[in-house]
Amino acid sequence: DTAVSQTPKYLVTQMGNDKSIKCEQNLGHDTMYWYKQDSKKFLKIMFSYNNKELIINETVPNRFSPKSPDKAHLNLHINSLELGDSAVYFCASSQGATGVAFFGQGTRLTVV
Amino acid sequence: EDKVVQSPLSLVVHEGDTVTLNCSYEVTNFRSLLWYKQEKKAPTFLFMLTSSGIEKKSGRLSSILDKKELFSILNITATQTGDSAVYLCAVEAGSARQLTFGSGTQLTVLP
């Protein structure tokens, strides 16, 4: 059973397009996250979402918006894609006070 | 701004060697420090440390935290080629429950 799953695994799209990446977790966790990993392998938090409370990293452009239809899903929607958005995007989830985040397999986004 | 620094950035050793990876941090309201191993895809959890001086151990891997000097080390003894990966250190701090990651150490173990 996959604990945190993301789709698609690979996404190639043109500049200016709008795209979404889906994430689902079956761990029963109450907090979900989106991270961006750049070409230098630096993982940086974009959003965390807990019980309808959204915490946004202030450096994230407002073209990025998370959408959570329910506790088990946190999708990432990106408007007007730019070349610099090319990266691997990881979804993660955690429960309560443990702080241990479990990661999905990542979505490699390439903007051409 | 919270900051996590790992060293070295990369390391090449031969099978059987012992390695020590370093992680230092400057954060507000420290909660925990975590180590992850990232091979090709998702980072996988290794250890979570919250108290100083208590070693966590799993097989050939061990880790310890020093909250006074604000650092942690990850030791791998008798390295194997399967240990080749990027090792990520992350610190959880503040009320937002978000992890700040270091840039990782790329470990390559040669046969």
pLDDT tens for B48-106 read 999 898 999 999 999 999 999 999 999 999 999 999 999 999 998 877 667 889 999 99
Q: Which two tokens stand for residue A89?
A: 């995007």
Distance, CA of B74 to CA of B65 (rounded, Å)? 9
CB A109 within 8 A of CB A87: yes
CA distance A89 to A110: 11
The predicted structure's pLDDT at residue B97:
66
Rounded to whole angstroms, how far apart are CA atoms A4 and B75? 28
Please list every residue in chain A whose beta carbon sits closer than 8 Å to the beta carbon of residue B92: 99
B96 has a chain A CB within 8 A of its CB:
yes
Tens-place pLDDT, residues B14-45: 999 999 999 999 998 898 999 999 998 899 99
Mean residue pLDDT of chain B comes to 93
Residue A55 contacts residue B98 (beta carbons within 8 Å): yes
Q: What is the mean pLDDT of residues A89-99?
A: 82
Amino acid B96: pLDDT: 67
Q: Does residue B109 have a pLDDT over 80?
A: yes
- A103/B99 CB distance under 8 A: no
Q: Is A98–B103 a contact, with Cβ atoms under 8 angstroms apart?
A: no
Which residues have C-beta within 8 Å of that of residue B5, sequence separation ≥ 6? B23, B24, B25, B102, B103
**Over 90: is that where the pLDDT of B1 sits?**
no
DSSP A3: S
- Residue A97 has a pLDDT of 54
**Cβ pair A20, A64 in contact under 8 A:** no
- What are the CA-CA distances from residue A92 to residues A18, A96, B42, B58 (Å)? 22, 14, 10, 23
Q: What is the pLDDT of residues A11-65, one digit of tens each?
A: 999 999 999 999 999 999 988 999 999 887 788 989 888 877 887 777 889 999 9
3-class DSSP state of A29: coil
